[in-house]
Amino acid sequence: LASPSGASTVVLFNRVGQTSSNPFGYGDRGFNVTFDNAAPNDIHLYQNYSPGFSSSGQLLGTWQPDGRPLDSANPYAVPGTTRTSSLDQFLNQNPNGQWKLFIADLSSGGQSTVVSWGMQITAVPEPKGWGIWTALGLTGLFIYKRRHRGAQAQVLR
């Protein structure tokens, strides 16, 4: 997932379940999940956490994004254990614009399809107190400058 500015990219899935002892990863029927950094478990090895599945076999629940880097030189390489990205990378960025979701299915056989996807962005409002204090501070500065300028004008006469 890439932000509109292109400044940040977060890996949501990266060959989930793939390890050196399981080179093909998990063979489940898909995902109907929500990503949240505050979720208790990382999606990469979700079968270790007694996951829930829909009646059609899709993984359900709220998970931390995979965050493991992609290896463009070797797309079949087993992902490392170090997570290098998280949704926190999108904090304080402008959410307006075109977000990009990049998907690649490199496995042979079968065909994967994205049925739908979406994003929910929660804006944090500016505290009301800060707005009042800022307005009072600017008003005070305006009054001080006006009086100070008047005092300078009297001294120059």
Which residues, in sequence order, are CB contacts of 40 under 8 Å at separation 6+? 49
**Each residue's pLDDT tens digit, 107-118:** 677 777 888 888
Question: Helix, strand, or coil here: 60?
Answer: strand
Q: Is the pTM of this model over 0.85?
A: no
- 100 secondary structure, DSSP code: B
Edge-to-edge, what's the strand order for the sheet holding 52-53?
A: 31-35, 59-63, 52-53
Identify the CA nearest to 34 among candidates 8, 58, 70. 58
As a whole number of angstroms, the distance between CA 129 and CA 131 comes to 5
What token pair was written down for 134?
A: 């800022």
- 44 secondary structure, DSSP code: G
pLDDT tens track, the chain, 157 positions: 888 888 888 989 888 888 888 888 888 888 899 999 999 998 988 999 999 999 999 999 999 998 888 776 776 677 777 888 899 988 888 888 899 888 877 667 777 788 888 888 877 776 666 666 677 777 766 676 666 655 444 444 5
As a whole number of angstroms, the distance between CA 104 and CA 70 comes to 11
